[in-house]
Structure 1
Amino acid sequence: MSFTQAELDYLAGQRLGRLATVSPAGQVQNNPVGFFVDAASGTITIGGHALGASKKFRNIQRGSTVSFVVDDLASVDPWVVRGIEIRGSAVALTDHEPPVPYFSREIITITPSKIISWGWDGARTSRTV
């Protein structure tokens, strides 16, 4: 398993993350996306409406690495930010069963190579998977 139990618990309680991809020309794109965690395989699945027509999908088809961030404010007084960044490789799949019925048949799967998390017990952790 690549995620700790605390990270899995945190991700299970979140609905949106931000996926950054890079075009072949080197232009970075960062967009909010819905996601699902597959704890057994240690991967992230991203789905959406007409995902196959998106720039992020095309960037991944062309070999982009990715960075995926999920974060929130645990408290504003005191100010406590927590989150997780997942860096790794991604695959753009077509004609795949969508994670929820109203999403299109395209999905993106992310396999982590590095996981950075912060905001739990005041510690920041970083590890290569």
Structure 2
Amino acid sequence: MAQSYDIPLHDIKPIVEIEEYSLYYFLGFASFALVLVAGVAYLLYMWLKKRNRYNRRKEHFKLLNSLDLSNTKESAYAITLYGATFKDDSPRHKEMYDNLLGRLEAYKYKKEVSSFDSEVIGYIELYKGMMDV
């Protein structure tokens, strides 16, 4: 007698596909974290870039305030060069700068020059006082 293995099984169910979303959750969270990290890195980069940026106005302001007015000829050229940075701030600055240039002409383009008179020093100090950095 041959034994038959074709026994009908009634309690075993067929394989059913289970909906699994954990991979999608993980990818969404990883994408969000990546965007967040990239945003923070960008803001940090911009902050560092702005902090270390060369500020021409600040440097020229420091140079003008540290000028040695006893060396008249070099001071006249330096005031002309560094003062031009601030001349376009307002019409008042432009007018004052042009007035100062006219007064400094006497101290440039000559081999020997005398020291600044008190009126020119007053105009120089007034122009330095007008500057906003």
TM-score scaled by structure 1? 0.20
Higher strand share: 1
TM-score scaled by structure 2? 0.19
Higher helix share: 2
